[in-house]
Amino acid sequence: MNTVMLVSYYRTYTHFFQRNLLHLAQISPYLDDKLRIYSTHNYLQSNKEEFAGSIRFALVRDPIECITSSITLDATAGKLTPKRVAYVIDEWVDFHTKLLKEDNLNLIWCNDLKTKPLKTFLKIAEIIGIDIIRDTIIEQKDISDFNYLSTKTTLQGYGQAFKAVSSSDLSKAYKIYAKLVKQSLVV
């Protein structure tokens, strides 16, 4: 059985990655023994010995989109402060700095997942060593994510979060992001 470890920051299309990879290869996550996907947002967790033989992937999303999406629920709940925004930006930078230092990691640019999903998944399947059987993508809007329901309130929170993040210093984040995108799989 092939095992995949998906280590990605919050709000980077992990559900989209998992659901579509299994769907395209026509694999039932509990019945087939062709592929097992583990995923975590905890970098240290992803390096545990039990995952040592896994094929490693990380999803790379634009920092302003990723960080804004990560703190939208804070804004929606009225808990968004400059200190919280700075903390999440620093956390994003720290997490992605660790990814840059890793040798055996396949980076996937989220923009490719959105704009060229089938080509991207074909490349991923080639790396894993599985066959793609289907040619239809499950749209992001059709994948349930109970942590982030789109409501009028959530959209207002997103606007507040975007304003807070976009007015912050993201220079470190974008330097790291540029390096990650450059190292991402070419599709």
Model confidence over 52-88: pLDDT tens digits? 889 999 999 999 999 998 898 888 888 899 999 999 9
CA 175 to each of CA 51, 108, 136, 171, 181: distance values in angstroms, whole numbers, following the listed order: 29, 17, 35, 6, 10
Topology of domain 2-183, CATH: Rossmann fold (3.40.50)
Question: What CA–CA distance (Å, rounded) separates 74 from 91?
Answer: 16
Model confidence over 118-146: pLDDT tens digits? 999 999 999 998 888 888 887 776 665 54
Instruction: Please name the helix (run of DSSP H) or strand (run of DSSP E) that holds residue 85, with its range, or none.
Output: helix 82-100
Query: Which pTM does this prediction carry?
Result: 0.88
C-beta atoms surrounding 19 within 10 Å: 18
- Per-residue tokens: 162: 């975007």
- The overall longest dimension of the chain from CA atoms, in Å, is 48
